Structure 1
Amino acid sequence: MKEYEKPSERRFEESRGGIGEKRCPDCGAPLLDQKVCPECGADLRKRTSHKFAALICVVALAFGLGYYTYAGIQGEFTIDIGDIDEGYNYGYAWVEGTVTSGPEYRVHPSKRLTFDLSDGTGEISIRAYSEDADNLIARGLIPGVGDHVRVFGMMRVEDYGERIDIQNPEKFELDPASAEETTISQILVNFSNWKYERVTVKGYLKSMRPFGWMNLYKIENSGAELEVFFTGGLSELGDKPENLDRLYSILEITGGVAEYGGSPQLMPKSYADVKVVGRKELPGVIPLAETSDYKYELVGVSGKIVFSEDRGVGWNFWLDNLEDNSDAIPLWVWDSTYESFSENTKKQFDRGADITTYGEPETYEGEDRIELVAPPEISIDNAEGINTYQLPLVSISSLTENNVNDFVTVRGEVTQASDKGDKFTLENNAASIDVTVSESVWALLQDTPDNNDLVKVSGRVDLMGGNLVLYPGVPSDLEVVS
């Protein structure tokens, strides 16, 4: 049999007259009006055109999605979560299972109520938008961890996972779980038994970490600790209890036991599930020099802020009692915690202020520090002395390795400035010291130094690669004199 070039492998050119002659789809032999190929014997009457086959597929897909939608609305089509894949994208179905996370309620950029659901075959995110979210909230159908839910919606399969968008909130079915009183220690010891159960526990607020749209609390009772996750938008679902964000408040919380990182995490579904029933007495204030003896315990500390250092993700406020020869120690404040300060506290919480607060001494990268515990409990004295406290002006030549972690002010001429300018050498009377400005400070500088400028720099002395380095803490620590 002759070898012919198949239509799929050759090019038809306009110069050859239109789309070209008719050929056998199997061997490529030229045909006239034959129904059977004279070369290979292929029966063309039994062939289905590609266009017709594609049309059949489109009709079948449309019919399939239409059937899922109709069957779902009629209550006939309930799918296992583990079976949802790209073949069901934009299809409709019922799913039912136990809530494993949530609720999360967001108002911006649009209203959205979200929770996660598991049926034993898989887990999926459920979302209600705008009017559908308002409908559920108005009817008190707010799902929480441990509740049983049956929901109808559109299946969406995207790169980051699957979800169901609620389409008919009137058919939303919620069977709320009953809460059982227990203790934190019982949950920790038998987590597998309490997972996705609704419980009521009591403990005092040991710490709180704000994360913008949500807060992570830590409560303690009889030495056992449990994280409590307040998801975003709970304030939209009910009034926040007074004194909830007060250190050592005694709380009675009802919520579902979820899992995060292999550990239990309690998730209330509204502020109505939280009661403030008292307050535990705060610990006493200890001398700064003794804080290393109380690692990872809550203690009261008191001292003068002698230096403020913006570290990008947080602040070091160096405390010193100025009454003995002990070194200053940094009070670490996360940005998220700092942003929870009132505007007045932010203004007063600065160099020169005498403060009393509470934190946990710790070791970070080999250095001792105290982490401020939120919700912050802060007392500020000597507010009129803020920004009037001056670091000692010293000569560059007097600085040695013995001055590491001292806070000083020096003057000199800028030399060897980097291209960006955030690193340079300061010289005065043949003595020199390197200066490094952090990105967060450099971004806020109004007048940046250049070679040959006379500048005054206040900062913390450190040692880097055998050389002394001065680190200014805030933009006002660097002044271009001339």
Structure 2
Amino acid sequence: MSGKEGEKKLYYHGLKEQKKLNVSRIKYLSVLLSVIGVALLLVAAQSAQAPLVRVSDVYGNYLMNYAVVRINGTVITVPYVSQTGGKLGLTFTVDDGTGQIDVRVYSPLADEMIRKGLVPFPGDGVTAEVQLRVRETYTYSMLQYLGGLHFRSKLHSENPPLFKSLNANMSNTYVAVEGIVTKFSNVSSGYLLTVDTGDSQVSVLVPRVLLVFSNLSVKVGDTVYAPGIVYLYKGTSPEIVVRNLSQLSVTPIEEAPVVPIGEAPNYPGMVMAVEGSIAGISYENGRYVLTLTDGEDYLDALVPRDVLASLNPFNASSESTVKVAGRMGSDGRLVAAYLEVVKAVKTEFRPIGVLTPDMRGSIVAVKGNIEEVDRVGSNLKLVIDDGTGRLDVFVPSATLAELSNETKAGLKVGLGVEVAGYLEEYRGKLEVVVYTGEGIRALGEPLPPEEIELPKVTAEELADYEGQLVDFAGSLEGMTYTNGTYYLTVDGVKASLPREALLNLNPLEAGTGSQVVVRGLVAGDNLVKGENLTVEVPIAPIPLKPEEVTAEMEGGLVAVIGKVTDVANLSGNLKIVVGSLPVFVPRSTASELTYVPAKGDLVQVGGYVEIYRDKPEVVLFNPAAIEKLQQAGPVEGTVSDLNTAMEPLLLTVTWDSFAYQKPDYALTFHDSTGSATLLAERSLLPNPLKAGTGSTLRLIADPLSGRITALNITRAKPSPILKTGSIGLSMKGRTVALNGTVTEVRVIGKNLKLTLDDGSGGIAVFIPGGANLSVEKGQRVIIAGYVDEYNGKPEIIAYDLDAIKLEKPSGGAAGIGEVKVSELSKATGRVNLTVTWDGLSYDNGYVMKVHDDTGSAELSVSRELLPDPREAGTGSTLRITYDADSGEVVSITVVKAIPAEELRTGDVTLDLLGTTVVVEGTIKDVYTGKSFTKLTIDDGSGELVVFIPKSVAQLTFSEGQTVRIAGYVAEYKGTVEVIPYRSDCIEVR
């Protein structure tokens, strides 16, 4: 059978043969249908929702690990933001009623959620499709796409109700508060503010999630309007959680309007600022009361400690001007949230002895050595002493917490401390309350027992120092005795003094006109309650005959010479008649007399004149003010004769040692019969460079007064020149000479203290009355004096200025190299440079700006070296000797003088800063501070401020006077000033 025929038999009988099909097309069709089917299955799978589960069913269920589910609940936590490796993470907690679970969102999804404002907040109802992570003790979930988070409800309002306080019942409501920020903390969850609404303190949290891509500036004192969700922190404490920064409003405290102090109480509830000086500080119910005044009106501000702590009591005294801002209370007191020092007046240290109860509330600074340290609960109490008195120091616990461990370690008995705060009275005793950690400085070592430096004032200045301890200087006019108290008259002012202090005044040596200093408390412009007396410049009185003393001399100091005609003991008092003049010796003085005259003695008596029964008599108040005079010269004697002799003796002795016995010097000497010590005036002492201890002296000794009245040298033995490092306390009282280099210079009142070193070790040298000596660091000096002890160490007392030989400053002499300004940074030792003076300023010392053709520099210079600007001001060419090691100008020579330009007051502008000028004008206003005087002058062209430091001159000015001032131009808070730096450049016309 052929192939064709066989193929036909495959069909049923009777059917026709069909056309042949192409099977390859069916294959492609089947593949297409398969792809379409898979796509339909994927679409169906994506549109299908994950199962909605209960938290309690999946929490801890390991079978659900990595399962994708839906959670439907309420957000119960503030969203927490974390940043690790520069990537954001966000976490919030959802509660569905069966349990709680954290939902985490990671970058970049977290970034997108924050930028689009889709972050859930407490109280929001959400449905979240998440993937579960089940751990052994913790189950959490992760949001994997933003479409998986749906908000069923949001806590939000465009116009929320305003409340002044919150309570727990307000949880999960949307409200707003408005008030002043009294506390600001940058915590892990965001910015936490304490807002004073006027009725209560409300906590407001600005979550960190809102701060990731936005900036917010807010600080204590600002006024905020804060809408948000009431959230119970730790389940109990309500606080507002801000959910939208665009609704938060911040008004900076600097923009609070300044209201005059006298008008401020008229605006209760208003946020305002006031300015004034500090009239007092006290403490009341957890807050400090800061009283401000503008000179006429007063205002109390209630200040939290954190705010008051910004007022450093060392830098800002009660005379400072401060700005305080807050909300005015209905009781007329400002509830403060911000404090700023507008004009600081540095607090000067006061001796403890000058502090009085009427100074309570004022800011004071004191220093002393700690005598007691006690813990009072969580607070600290110190007792300090500065030699003028003891004072309690109270350190509250909040202040104590601010102190460093180093400071706390230094608060020990025996060590020195500086404290500043406000003065308070507690249980009848004054104490300083240190309200800030900046108000206490532990010195780590005891304060040296040096003499207290007090302001030295004249009679005209007493009124400015009422209630303060001062050194009152003036001319002695007389003396009286009233109701058990002695009074000196000094420049018309009464100064009461205890009798012990009067022993420093011998009217035979210091009479009317002597210059004296009374240390005491100023009780008024005409009374000083004195404690001590020093005669600075004695003027010996001219002796009078008894008959020359008259009633018109009442109260005056006199010296009388005559013969004793009678001596009587009146119940312990003595009455001595000299010629016909009665001399009364009170019992207290009579008991101390070393010489009681007898009839016929020739005596010299000093005292003050008093009227008794209408006749003058002299009152002897100092037992040393009566002397027996010899009608013949002194007799030859020996040291052993001093014990029994009644007349002056002429002695030849060897000088053994030397000591100071205020106000004289004690010389110890010997001969073959013994040794003795007598007093001598400083003017009698030999120059120790020429004749020191070991020299043979010929002297007249008065055994009755214990004094040397005359002294000559018969065999001089110069003081030996010793190594500075070889001086020891075993040499105490001996005179020595030193040849060394000055390594330190200190001026102490009218005295000078040096440290001298010849390479073997330094030693201190004290020069009484040497403050005006021109001694410089690095200068060579030969000096002689006696060895004394100070603070357990040897010290040389150079009592004779003629025994000090200084190396002459070399100026431009050989040995000092010439340099250019550009070479100063590499220079060492002393160098010379020739420069043009460009300007002057003050920064803890005067600073000259100079230049030459190589550059410019700023050089520290003492005021005494500065040229007179009227002769040589800025623009002058100067030759300067400069110590490159100490960084100080040593000397200045004017090469080419250009006097300071004379300007109209209105032409002095800030463009002239540092330039020297001369101005003249009429005083329009005078302000006197503690350390300065400020004048406003005008010559018709405009007002100009003149600032005169009291260290430059202490003058009295009044409105209407004409002054001529030469100084340099400076600036203070945008105001141009002229500051004189020499007293002779201030002329009052």
Match in the other structure for 1:104:
80
Secondary structure (helix, strand or coil) at the match of 1:154 reads strand
Shift of 1:477: 4.6
Measure how far apart 1:113 and its partner are. 1.4
The 3 A distance-change label for structure 1 pair 323 and 465 is: same
Cα distance 1:250–1:239, how it changes in 2: closer, same or farther (>3 A)? same
Deviation by residue 1:73-112 (Cα, 9 ceiling, x = unmatched): 993472235x676677995664321223433324368743
Alignment of 1:371-410 (within 5 A): 372-373=336-337, 381-382=342-343, 386=344, 388-391=345-348, 393-396=350-353, 398-400=355-357, 404-410=360-366
1:341-361 Cα offsets, whole Å, 9 max, x none, are xxxx99999625533332247
Question: Root-mean-square deviation (CA), in Å?
Answer: 5.8
Q: Is the 2:183–2:220 Cα contact (8 Å) retained in structure 1?
A: no
Structure-1 residue corresponding to 2:261: 287
Check whether the contact 2:371–2:384 (CA below 8 A) recurs between aligned residues.
Answer: yes
Q: Distance in 2 between matches of 1:275 and 1:183?
A: 14
Note closer, same or farther for the CA distance 1:301–1:154 as it changes in structure 2 (3 Å cut).
farther
- How far apart in 2 are the matches of 1:320 and 1:264? 36
Q: State the AA in 2 paired with 1:304.
A: S
Is the counterpart of residue 440 in structure 1 residue 396 in structure 2?
Answer: no
Change (3 A) 1:233 1:467: farther
Which of 353, 358, 371 aligns to 2:325? It is 358
Q: Contact conserved, 1:316 with 1:330, CA < 8 A, in 2?
A: yes
Distance 1:414 1:187 in 2: 48
2:243 alignment partner, one of 248, 269, 282: 269
Distance 1:249 1:424, change over 3 A: closer
Question: Any idea what SS the aligned residue of 2:79 has?
Answer: strand
User: In the TM superposition, what is the alpha-carbon distance from 1:211 to its structure 2 partner?
Assistant: 2.0
Residue type at the aligned position of 2:126: H
Cα deviation, 1:116-153, whole Å, max 9, x if unaligned, reads 32223344443334555346446654223424231423
| Equivalent residue in structure 2 for 1:78, among 34, 49, 53 | 53
Change over 3 Å in CA distance of 1:334–1:236 after alignment to 2? same
Partner of 2:208: 232
For the Cα contact (< 8 Å) 1:305–1:317, is it kept in 2? no
Question: Which residues in structure 2 correspond to 1:441-480 (within 5 Å)?
Answer: 441=403, 443=405, 445=407, 448=410, 450-453=412-415, 455-463=417-425, 468-472=430-434, 473-475=436-438, 477-478=440-441, 480=443
**Contact 2:89–2:107 (8 Å) recurs in 1:** yes
Deviation at 1:434, TM superposition (A): 2.7
Q: 1: CA distance between counterparts of 2:91 and 2:242?
A: 14
**Contact 1:104 1:234 (C-alpha < 8 Å) held by counterparts:** no
The answer to whether the 8 A contact 2:275-2:322 is kept is: yes
User: Offset of 1:227 from its aligned partner?
Assistant: 6.4
What residue number does 2:304 align with?
332
Distance of aligned partners of 1:427 and 1:334 in 2 relative to their CA distance in 1, 3 Å threshold: closer
Query: Residue 128 of structure 1 aligns to which amino acid in structure 2?
Result: V
CA contact (8 A) 2:370 2:412 kept: yes
Question: Structure 1 CA distance, aligned partners of 2:172 and 2:60?
Answer: 29
From the superposition, tell whether residues 277 and 147 of structure 1 become closer, same or farther in structure 2 (CA, over 3 Å).
Answer: farther
Structure 1 residues 477 and 270: CA distance shift in structure 2, 3 A: same
Q: Which amino acid aligns with 2:304?
A: W
Q: Contact between 1:348 and 1:380, CA under 8 Å: does it hold in 2?
A: no
Letter in structure 2 aligned against 1:96: N
Q: How does 1:60-75 map to 2 (within 5 A)?
A: 75=50
Contact 2:313 2:421 in 1 (8 A): no
**Contact 2:232-2:238 at 8 Å conserved across structures:** yes
Indicate the structure with greater strand content: 2
Paired with 1:237 and 1:144, the residues of 2 have a C-alpha distance of: 17
In structure 2, give the amino acid aligned to 1:121. Answer: T
Q: Tell me if the contact between 1:394 and 1:408 (Cα under 8 Å) persists in the aligned partners.
A: no
Give 2:241's aligned amino acid: M
**What whole-Å deviation, never above 9, does each CA across 1:131-176 have from its counterpart, x for those lacking one?**
5534644665422342423142335686xxx773426346732226
Name the structure 2 match of 1:425: 383
Which amino acid is the alignment partner of residue 127 of structure 2?
A: V
Relative to structure 1, is the Cα distance of residues 209 and 97 closer, same or farther in structure 2, using a 3 angstrom cutoff?
farther
Q: Structure 1 unaligned segments of length 5 or more: list them.
A: 1-72, 339-344, 363-367
Q: Which amino acid aligns with 1:407?
A: I
> Could you say what secondary structure the match of 2:304 adopts?
strand
Contact 1:394–1:410 under 8 Å retained in 2: yes
Task: After TM superposition, give the deviation of residue 206 of structure 1 in Å.
Answer: 4.6
Tell me the CA shift for residue 304 of structure 1.
3.5
DSSP 3-state at the match of 2:403: helix
Letter in 1 for 2:316: R
Q: Does 1:304 align with 2:277?
A: yes
Question: What amino acid maps onto 1:409 in structure 2?
Answer: A
SS at match of 1:214: strand
TM-score by length of 2: 0.30
In 2, are the aligned partners of 1:156 and 1:163 still within 8 Å (CA)? yes
One-letter amino acid matched to 1:470: V
Whether the 8 Å CA contact 2:352–2:385 is kept in 1: the answer is no
Q: What is the alpha-carbon distance in structure 1 between the residues aligned to residue 250 and residue 382 of structure 2?
A: 54
Task: Say which of 74, 95, 105 aligns to 1:118.
Answer: 95
Equivalences for residues 4-403 of structure 1 within 5 A: 75-76=50-51, 78-80=53-55, 91=65, 94=69, 95-107=71-83, 111-131=88-108, 133-134=110-111, 136-137=113-114, 141-145=118-122, 146-152=124-130, 153-154=132-133, 164-166=140-142, 168-169=144-145, 172-175=148-151, 177=153, 179-184=156-161, 196=172, 206-207=180-181, 209-212=183-186, 213-216=190-193, 228-238=204-214, 240=216, 247-248=222-223, 256=229, 258-259=231-232, 266-272=240-246, 274=248, 285=259, 287=261, 298-304=271-277, 318=290, 320-321=292-293, 323=295, 331-332=303-304, 334=306, 351=316, 354-360=321-327, 372-373=336-337, 381-382=342-343, 386=344, 388-391=345-348, 393-396=350-353, 398-400=355-357
Alpha-carbon spacing, 1:172–1:441, altered in 2? closer, same or farther (3 Å): same
Q: 1:389 to 1:412 in 2, by over 3 A?
A: same
- Structure 2 portions without partners, runs of 5+: 1-47, 449-989
Change in CA separation of 1:324 and 1:102 when aligned onto 2, cut-off 3 Å: same
Distance 1:423 1:245, change over 3 A: closer
Q: Tell me how far 1:184 sits from its aligned partner.
A: 0.8
Cα displacement (A) at 1:231? 1.0
SS of corresponding position for 1:133: helix
Alpha-carbon distance between aligned partners in 2 of 1:476 and 1:154, rounded to the nearest angstrom:
56
Residue matched to 2:703? none
Which residue identity does 2:365 align to in structure 1?
T
The residue aligned with 1:36 is: none
Secondary structure at the counterpart of residue 128 of structure 2: strand
| Sequence identity (%) | 17
> What is the number of equivalent residue pairs in this alignment?
373
**CA-CA distance at 1:325 after TM superposition:** 9.5
Q: What is the aligned partner in structure 2 of residue 64 from structure 1?
A: none
Paired amino acid for 2:83: V
Match of 1:211, SS state, is strand
Which structure's CA Rg is the greater one? 2
Q: CA–CA distance in 1 between the matches of 2:236 and 2:409?
A: 50
Distance (whole Å) between structure 2 residues aligned to residue 219 and residue 418 of structure 1: 36
Aligned partners of 2:250, 2:297: CA distance in 1, in Å? 43
